Structure 1
Amino acid sequence: MRRPAPLPVAPDEQPSDDQPVRRGRRARDETPEAVVTTIAPAADGVDGADPGIQDPDEPPLTQRDVWRAARARRKALKSEIRRFTQRSRRRRMIWLSALGALVLLISGTALAAYSPLFAVEKVTVIGASSLDPTQIEAALADQVGTPLALVDAGEVKAALIAFPLIETYALEAKPPHELTVRIVERTPVGVLSSDVGYTLVDAAGVALATTDAQPAGQPLLEIEGGTESAAFESAGLVVRSLPADLRAQLTRVQASSTDDVTLTLGEKTVVWGSSEQSGEKALVLTRLVAANPDAETFDVSTPAVGIAG
């Protein structure tokens, strides 16, 4: 790279013959005097004053002033924190209020339920037909005065065991003062003859009552093996599947096995077979009796091929 040519020298700055030509920097003594202006930086104070220097015209700071300043600073900090946490505090307050209301509601409900305000004053029996409802209500009279929530199911069960006709029952509390007992009675399927008389039984073989004479409307059961046999179970299912019109005509049920159930309807004999397809067999029997009123025997053991003779 070529060095640039030197700048031209003004005529009045041309050196004389007596003055040698000087190259390079000017001599130190020929440097023109520079005017230096010093500007002090402004401090973070009023009118550029140094915060570390106290104005002589102001009163000196006391411990009380320092305390007030610190208190004002803390107050401002708390205000900022409160402003930024306002939403979360509101949300927390809503949750706490809801939880408190729920606890209060549960506590109040529990106290009211276990208090005499909801004590039993009336026992109502629903579903009794063969049984006398007043007798069942009298047996449960001990529950009167007991809070509905404290009714002892064990005591109720012990009182209802005295009624063999009751198959199942359910308790319903109806505030403020009513206890409802819904019962399902056992369905008798016939009577068993023995030396002590006639015992009324249901399909499970439970003895419901014993009388000296055969109860009206109840067929005589002649089952080999008694109530504990499979033949009795099959016969019970057959009797319970009969429609009301056929059930009213039933006078005798015989069974030697599960597949050999025979019914007597007045003067007519019906070979039923097993308890399977009993609904279809009852429908076929109804049609056969209507179509053959003078027939004395019917065979519906195979419902697809009903026979009247």
Structure 2
Amino acid sequence: MQTVTAPIPLVRPAGEEAREAPQATDAASTHSPYDALPTNREISKALRAARKERRRIERGEVRRFTKRSRRRRLAWLAAAGVVALLVLGVAGVAVSPLLALRHIEITGASRLDAADIRAKLGDQLGTPLPMLDQAAISSDLAAFPLIRSYSLESHPPDTLVVRIEERQPVGVIQKGSVFTLVDAAKVPISSSQTRPEGYPLVTAAGGSAETDADSAFAAAAGVLSALPPTVLAQVDTISAKTKDDVSFTLRGSGATVVWGSAEDSDLKAADLTALLAGASGANRYDVSSPHSVTTG
């Protein structure tokens, strides 16, 4: 036979329950609303994180807004680098022995000896073409009075072409027993004890048109330069005391041509050509007034 023991409920006096209730209320009232706020340390950490994030965003925005300018700057830098390389390359080639002068070609020389000109310019051999001494070349060529003008052409890798324009003689000036062939600038070309054939003997004072445009010689030289080759070949002597009284004689017939001044020389030359063809036996041709020519 089992014995069952039932729990006996604990019955507290009414006074004890009343005493415990206020204690629970007092515990809840001790928690303040400020207890949920973050600490200073947590706030500092959050601020540092915020500043770091802001800097990251600002850098991103700067990169985004300066992307085009950075690309442009990179393009300019790349172009400048290419140009610098090209300049250095050209400069390197320019001073290299690959472009050293080894051959000098002379063109346009007929009265002058091309070998003499090459020898005079020989001090330039071995110099790179871009570094040739232009002043020295000019000084060397000035030693040849027959050279009226010249031009230089560099033909890489090693050739210099010198194109010569020689002075063209227009007449002969006699001084004592010496005959000097001169050009229109009155520059002596050659001298001899005998009169050169094929050129008129000029008797006119003064300098060339380059030094004295109103001189008698300038007028005579201007007339000779205006004559067509067929007529110029017939001129034996030409004289002038002033710029307005140029006249000359013709070979063979000894006829005299009264020209006057050098003005309207082209028209006078055409008139004289027609007169020589139509009145070849005349002793005197006066074309000083081109609109009223006469023969005699």
| TM > 0.5 fold call | yes
Task: Give 1:152's aligned residue.
Answer: 133
CA drift of 1:52 comes to 4.6
* Amino acid in the other structure paired with 2:160: L
**CA offsets 1:44-102 (integer angstroms, 9 cap, x no match):** xxxxxx99548xxxxx97x9999888766644543332223211111111122222222
Correspondence for 2:235: 250
CA distance in 1, matches of 2:136, 2:177: 32
- Contact 2:206 2:218 (C-alpha < 8 Å) held by counterparts: no
Indicate the residue corresponding to 1:288 in structure 2.
Answer: 275
Quick one: distance in 2 between partners of 1:89 and 1:186?
63
Greater Cα shift, 205-214 or 225-234: 225-234
Structure 1 partner of 2:167: 186
Q: Report the residue type matching 1:252 in the other structure.
A: T
Question: Aligned letter for 2:267?
Answer: E
Q: Counterparts of 1:1-309 in structure 2 under 5 Å?
A: 52-53=37-38, 74-224=55-205, 230-266=215-251, 267=253, 268-309=255-296
Deviation at 1:210, TM superposition (A): 0.7
> Structure 1 pair 225/89, CA: closer, same or farther in 2 (3 Å)?
closer
Determine the C-alpha separation between the residues in 1 that align with 2:248 and 2:282.
Answer: 15
Point out the more displaced range, 87-96 or 132-141: 132-141
- Counterpart in 2 of 1:20? none
Gaps of 5+ in 2: 1-34
Q: CA deviation at 1:256?
A: 1.2
Separation in structure 1 between the aligned mates of residue 266 and residue 292 of structure 2, nearest angstrom: 15
* Inter-CA distance 242–80: structure 2 relative to 1 (3 Å threshold): same
Residue 31 (structure 2) aligns with: none
Q: How many equivalent pairs are there?
A: 255
Per the alignment, residue 11 of structure 1 pairs with: none
Question: How far 1:127 moved relative to its partner?
Answer: 2.4
Unaligned stretches of 5+ in structure 1? 1-49, 55-59
Partner of 2:15: none
Q: For 2:101 and 2:79, how far apart are their aligned partners in 1?
A: 33
Q: Which amino acid aligns with 2:287?
A: V
Letter in 2 for 1:261: V
Q: Secondary structure at the match of 1:125?
A: strand
CA distance in 1, matches of 2:93, 2:156: 11
Question: Which whole-Å CA distance do the structure 2 matches of 1:111 and 1:275 have between them?
Answer: 57
What amino acid maps onto 2:204 in structure 1? I
- Indicate the RMSD between aligned Cα atoms, in angstroms: 2.9
Question: 1:81/1:184 Cα in 2 relative to 1: closer, same or farther (>3 Å)?
Answer: same
Instruction: Tell me, in whole angstroms, the C-alpha distance in 1 between the residues paired with 2:36 and 2:98.
Output: 78
Distance in 2 separating the partners of 1:133 and 1:191? 25
Identity value in percent = 44
Measure, in 2, the Cα distance between the counterparts of 1:114 and 1:148: 9
Contact 2:207 2:218 in 1 (8 A): no
1:217 and 1:127 mapped to 2: Cα distance? 22
- Asked if structure 1 preserves the Cα contact closer than 8 Å seen for 2:93 and 2:99, the reply is yes
